[in-house]
Amino acid sequence: MDQAVSGFSKLSKEDKINWIAQTYFSEPEKAVKLIKGYWNSDPALQKLHDEFIENTITNFYLPLGIAPNFVINGKNYTVPMAIEESSVVAAAAKSAKFWATRGGFKTTIIDTEKIGQVHFIFHGSADKIQSFFNQNKADLIASTDSITQNMRARGGGIRSIELRNLTHQLNGYFQLHVTFETKDSMGANFINSCLEQLAQTLKTKAAEHSDFNAEEKAVEVVMSILSNYVPNCLVRAEVSCAVSDLVEKKIENPQAFAEKFVQAVRIAEIEPYRAVTHNKGIMNGIDSVVLATGNDFRAIEAGVHAYASRNGQYSSLSYAEIKDGIFRFWMDVPLALGTVGGLTSLHPMVKFALSVLEQPSARDLMQIVATVGLAQNFAALRSLTTTGIQEGHMKMHLNNILNQFQANDAERQQVKEYFKNQVVSHAGVVTFLENLRK
């Protein structure tokens, strides 16, 4: 079947749904029913969701969970987490409870600098373009005044602008490297608007510059765009306590546990294969809060993983040590987040999540998100170095297996009772269900 379609974006929502249903499903009526079953019952809310993106046909749900008891710098937080993976919310909540009685989490904002660049080609000497830049730097910044006015009133705006010579990597390639402070907004649109104005001013000034020849006057702007790599938009989250205070039900020998924990983190520092999975666990926590608060988790992922590679090899984001009888576990992570603008003022559940967090500033949210990432990492490493990761994870995953095999209430009760003291595995649950049904 030819599945190409012309003018799809111009079709009505109903026609889009019908085309999908009739093209890809043997029972189109059932497909339409499924699609419409996920519509919001409030037409106004559904219209709002429809307009977030293009070609919308329905909503795609993710569970929104709650992890309470996060003590961060002495303040108690209840954290909303949007994620589809079982055991993540439970692990975060368990870590929060564990550290709440051991001093809680400590966080520090190291910096909030964001970055954008104007990439351009200049066919002339580096000395000439540097001299031109020095002469016109103030005018370049001034040309953005109408864009930055409101941001400057809030204490933000352009921090710095410099010319970078990268001709050793690409013939004629220079860039304007610009740093920004965007306060409580993530600032993507603001930054990109500033960069496009800087690019236009650069071209205009170059065309008028008396010391440039005809070729040099024709500066070619390739692109103007923010960077999602923000190594100076950085927050630290950490926990610490006396090694002896680590004792609990599954940590009978706290010294041995602490030493093994530190070794596990050290392995993630030097072994990229382990580091990727280690950091993925951190991102389970980070992404779920970023998503719940309407921020861009793809940008966060890209920036964080670039940061994990900053020394030339992909490595652990977190670190651990034992010093003078004190166990310390910490992480520095780049997080460019916002609490105003974008979905934060539109999506009802994002507004709900920010209310649960008591309307945090962008700096507050950076600290909360980093804390949940560290908590997630602690939970994973505690499991890996004690009982193993699968015991807790599979117990949380049990409902998914039961749903997959459409277990009824009686079967669910018997399965859960049986596996209360047994190792849960997919094959074991399936076998038990089959025997029940015989």
Could you list the active site residues? 85, 280, 296, 393
**Rg of the chain taking only CA atoms, in angstroms:** 27
Residue 25: phi, psi to the nearest 5? Answer: -130, 140
Rounded to an integer, what distance in angstroms lies between the CA atom of residue 154 and that of residue 145? 14
64 CB burial (10 A radius; 0-12, 13-18, 19+): middle
| CA 386 from centroid of its chain's CA atoms | 29
Q: What 3-state DSSP class applies to 224?
A: strand
Q: Are 284 and 83 in contact (CB under 8 A)?
A: yes
Q: Are 320 and 241 in contact (CB under 8 A)?
A: no
Q: Are 385 and 264 in contact (CB under 8 A)?
A: yes
9 CB burial (10 A radius; 0-12, 13-18, 19+): exposed
Rounded to an integer, what distance in angstroms lies between the CA atom of residue 22 and that of residue 28? 5
DSSP classification of residue 185: B
Residue 182: phi, psi to the nearest 5? Answer: -115, 10
User: How is residue 147 written in tokens?
Assistant: 């864009």
Number of H helices, E strands in the chain: 16, 10
Cβ neighbours, 10 Å, residue 107: 21
User: How is residue 181 written in tokens?
Assistant: 């402070």
Q: Which residues pair with 330 in a beta bridge?
A: 238, 319
Rounded to an integer, what distance in angstroms lies between the CA atom of residue 116 and that of residue 255? 47
Q: On the CB side of 117, how many CA atoms lie within 13 Å of its CA? A: 16
Q: Which residues pair with 77 in a beta bridge?
A: 70
Rounded to an integer, what distance in angstroms lies between the CA atom of residue 8 and that of residue 160? 45
Distance (Å) of CA 119 to CA 113, 172, 203, 287, 397: 19, 11, 12, 30, 48
For the chain, what's the residue count? 438
Residue with token string 């039961």: 402
Cβ neighbours, 10 Å, residue 270: 11
Amino acid sitting at position 378: F
